Amino acid sequence: MKKYRISFNGDVYELEVEEIGGAQSTGEVAVTKTEPVKAAAPKVVEKKEEPKKSAPTGGEAVTAPMPGAIIDVKVSEGQSVKAGDVVVILEAMKMENEIVAPVDGVVASINTSKGANVALGDTLVTIG
């Protein structure tokens, strides 16, 4: 017989299991519930928050609608755009999402770059 201790849903069980074909084969398995074992508290690792780039005053900020990775930036500073033009391609959950300009205007600043990871609400492009 071999003895094992197994934790399942916070409960700890001790199992005695006999190998099939062993010297003594009774076909019985003994299960005993033991007292829960307290697990060590998980370590909390603090992540340094990077300052978010914000839109210049008076500009319309195009923000990330979800966290993801920037696949491509389709515009450059000073370029004229119309509402609905694709400004950035954002990959999230293995899907490419076209982020479009919400208004007509001129690209005042690009606040991200190809390959960058962005969080929900990060400013990607500013249209003035």
Report d(CA 97, CA 92) in Å as an integer. 7
Q: Does a structural domain hold residue 52?
A: no
* CA nearest neighbour of 112 among 84, 86, 79, 73: 73
Q: Is the Cβ–Cβ distance between 78 and 106 less than 8 Å? A: yes
Q: Is the Cβ–Cβ distance between 74 and 108 less than 8 Å? A: no
pLDDT of residue 56 exceeding 60, the answer is no
Q: What is the mean pLDDT of residues 84-109?
A: 93
pLDDT of residue 67: 94
Paired tokens of 36: 């829960």
Domain containing 6 equals 2-34
Percent of the chain at pLDDT exceeding 90: 51
Burial of 64 (0-12, 13-18, 19+ CB in 10 A): buried
Report d(CA 29, CA 25) in Å as an integer. 11
Residue 70: CB atoms within 10 A of its CB come to: 20
Residues 113 and 67 in one domain: yes
Higher pLDDT, 60 or 52: 60
pLDDT of residue 44 exceeding 80, the answer is no
Q: What is the mean pLDDT of the chain?
A: 79
Q: Does a structural domain hold residue 111?
A: yes
Using a cut of 0.75, tell me whether the model's pTM lies above it: no
| CA distances (Å), origin 117, targets 67, 98, 103, 108 | 8, 15, 24, 21
Residues 29 and 64 in one domain: no
Task: Count how many domains the chain has.
Answer: 2
Q: What is the mean pLDDT of residues 12-40?
A: 63
Residues 86 and 120 in one domain: yes
Report d(CA 33, CA 7) in Å as an integer. 10
Residues 71 and 111 in one domain: yes
